[in-house]
Chain A
Amino acid sequence: MFEAIASASTLGDALDSVSVLVDECKIRLNEDGLAIRAVDPANVGMVDLDLEAGAFESYDADGGVIGVNLARLEDIASMANADDLVHLELDEETRKLHIQMDGLSYTLALIDPDSIRQEPDIPDLDLSAEIVVEGAQLSRGVTAADMVSDHIRLRVDPDDEAFLVEAQGDTDDVDLELSREDLIDLKAGGADSLFSLDYLKDMNKAIASDAEVTIELGEEFPVKLHYGFGEGLGNVTYMLAPRIQSD
């Protein structure tokens, strides 16, 4: 059993954060809220999302799992205005999701959850640095790096207490240095890892510019990017595997 009413913007934010990585996902309809965990087919980027029951106008579920085509669901959700309410109801018999908003109703055929990639295990990470930064700052670094390279290096200089975003192209280089004053918070530790911009760009798209992003970073380790949405009742954690740095 599942029936819920959510604001179109909260629903849209949740779907966007997952659809940048995968086309299909399982949604866990837990009693205390929705949960989605998915990894891209190459096993490089993962998303772990929780949307608490409190983020909905009303929410009623008893722990089922549904499989959805995200592009379809996003298309439907985009038919609503940001402050419209979207009504969702699962028909257990037909395995379809009824979606209604402002007079428009849509019946979405669900996907067999068993046919969707297994939900990944969360990697066990030892990340020594934690940087809290505004979404807009991170976005600036990603956009600038993308002008010169396919890869982006994120590191923390523990002595200077600064977060550094760097990219080296064939001819041009980009450096963005954010000192403690530029950041919301910094727990400095030795951290230096290289990432594919293809993935980071996509993740960055889902992060609002005024979001507080917590970046957990290690030495040649995956990075964790964490941010909240839906007035703090929604939480997204991205994990992105590093590239091997050549000397």
Chain B
Amino acid sequence: MGNAALRDIAALQTVSWEEVAGSVVAIDAHNWLYRYLTTTVKFTADEAYTTSEGDKVANLVGTVTGLAKLFEHDLTPVFVFDGGVTELKDDEVERRREKREAAEERLAEARDRGDGVEAARLSARTQRLTSVIHETTRELLSQLDVPVVEAPAEGEAQASYMARRGDVDYVGSEDYDTLLFGAPETLRQLTSSGDPELMSLAATLDGHDLTWEQLVDVGILCGTDFNDGVDGIGPKTALKTVRKHGDLWGVLDARGAHVPNGDRIRSLFLNPPVTEDYAFDTDIRPDVDAAQAYVTEEWEVDPDAVARWFDRIEEATTQTGLDDWT
């Protein structure tokens, strides 16, 4: 999921929830959902989110938990879902699948041993976004009147594009790749308990005296979801050498190195497949009773696992703020 090496380069600053209150955030839906899915599975008993037919819908618990938090901080989310998987990402997808399968094997062993702690830990790792998860998450968001945008390809790319056009204030993602996709400002740690972290593209570029294109080249040299990095190049070397040789091609020439599909990867960040054909209403008026019935009756989630989150969503979305009148 992106390259953490970019953290060493990114201009990051902790901000308070108050500073970002009232803003509209295009959230990378997969990234967000995955985080809530794994925490839910870790901390909630299986039975609470397993239907009588055996479907696991921990995503419904995770989604209401996460939404309550966003609403209470007065953020308006717009969830951006991935479209198709980019072909170049096959390797990454394959790598993740292998990891998951290995975890699944160990999970079965842990269960046989009766090691509940290890089983819970591994079970969080083996989560995947099944079609039931996709469908039910979208339906729940719709009941709660939360806007959704379907990306033609990468959700991060679409969210970054919407932020660049000024249609949203921030991109919400844990992934440093939003910098490469040109998102002006990204809010990280929206899903954790502390304050969010603001990642700024302009400050990153200014700080290292780079253009956006050069930053993408730095990213490619360190490795992205679409390629392995060049051996022996970490973030610091990448910065230095891109500044020295001007761009990716200059660096590769000088080193006699090669990045397969370099051209295509570059344009995937600079000109990714995105759509301008989207519209959303940020005046969110959820039907909390209907959403609660959907989750607890239709999908048989234990009411106790979600009741307080629904209450908090209701409270946060029906109370207006005085700043709505200034």
- A-side interface residues toward B, CB under 8 Å? 39, 41-46, 117, 120-125, 196, 221-222, 239, 241-244, 246
Q: Is B326 close to A, CB under 8 A?
A: yes
Q: Is B298 close to A, CB under 8 A?
A: no
Give which listed residue, B21, B285, B317, B322, contacts A241 with CB less than 8 A.
B322
Chain B residues with CB under 8 A of A124: 325-326
Give which listed residue, B74, B317, B318, B322, contacts A239 with CB less than 8 A.
B322
Listed A/B pairs (19) with beta-carbon separation below 8 Å: A39-B322, A43-B322, A120-B322, A120-B323, A120-B326, A121-B323, A122-B326, A123-B323, A123-B325, A125-B325, A222-B322, A222-B325, A241-B319, A241-B320, A241-B325, A243-B319, A243-B320, A244-B318, A244-B320
Smallest beta-carbon distance A71→chain B, Å: 21
A41-B18, A244-B285 as given contacts; A121 in contact with B321, CB under 8 Å: no
Q: A120-B326, A243-B320, A244-B320 are in contact. List 10 more A-B contacts (CB 8 A).
A: A39-B322, A43-B323, A44-B320, A117-B18, A120-B323, A121-B323, A123-B325, A123-B326, A222-B325, A241-B322
Q: Is B324 close to A, CB under 8 A?
A: yes
Chain A residues with CB under 8 A of B21: 43
Chain A residues with CB under 8 A of B320: 44, 222, 241-244
Smallest beta-carbon distance A24→chain B, Å: 14
Chain B residues with CB under 8 A of A45: 322
The CA-CA distance from A196 to B318 in the complex, in Å, is: 10
Chief secondary structure at chain A's binding surface: loop
A43-B321, A196-B319 as given contacts; A121 in contact with B326, CB under 8 Å: yes
Smallest beta-carbon distance B303→chain A, Å: 16
The CA-CA distance from A203 to B50 in the complex, in Å, is: 46
Identity of the chain B residue whose Cβ is nearest the Cβ of A46 in the assembled complex: B322
Chain A residues with CB under 8 A of B74: 43
Smallest beta-carbon distance B235→chain A, Å: 35
Chain B residues with CB under 8 A of A39: 322
The CA-CA distance from A196 to B325 in the complex, in Å, is: 17
Contact with A along B30-71 (1 / 0, CB 8 A): 000000000000000000000000000000000000000000
The CA-CA distance from A124 to B323 in the complex, in Å, is: 10
Contact with A along B302-326 (1 / 0, CB 8 A): 0000000000000001111111111
Identity of the chain B residue whose Cβ is nearest the Cβ of A41 in the assembled complex: B18
* Cβ–Cβ contact A243 & B322, under 8 A: no
* Cβ–Cβ contact A221 & B325, under 8 A: yes
Chain A residues with CB under 8 A of B318: 243-244, 246
* Cβ–Cβ contact B285 & A44, under 8 A: no
Smallest beta-carbon distance B324→chain A, Å: 7
Smallest beta-carbon distance B112→chain A, Å: 48
Chain B residues with CB under 8 A of A44: 319-322
Identity of the chain A residue whose Cβ is nearest the Cβ of B325 in the assembled complex: A123
The CA-CA distance from A121 to B21 in the complex, in Å, is: 16
B317, B318, B324, B325: most-surrounded residue (chain A CB, <10 A): B325
The CA-CA distance from A77 to B21 in the complex, in Å, is: 35
The CA-CA distance from A125 to B322 in the complex, in Å, is: 10
Identity of the chain A residue whose Cβ is nearest the Cβ of B322 in the assembled complex: A241
Smallest beta-carbon distance A235→chain B, Å: 19
* Cβ–Cβ contact B326 & A42, under 8 A: no
Smallest beta-carbon distance A226→chain B, Å: 16
The CA-CA distance from A116 to B323 in the complex, in Å, is: 18
Chain A residues with CB under 8 A of B324: 123, 241
The CA-CA distance from A222 to B320 in the complex, in Å, is: 9
The CA-CA distance from A242 to B318 in the complex, in Å, is: 9
The CA-CA distance from A239 to B321 in the complex, in Å, is: 11
Chain A residues with CB under 8 A of B326: 120-124
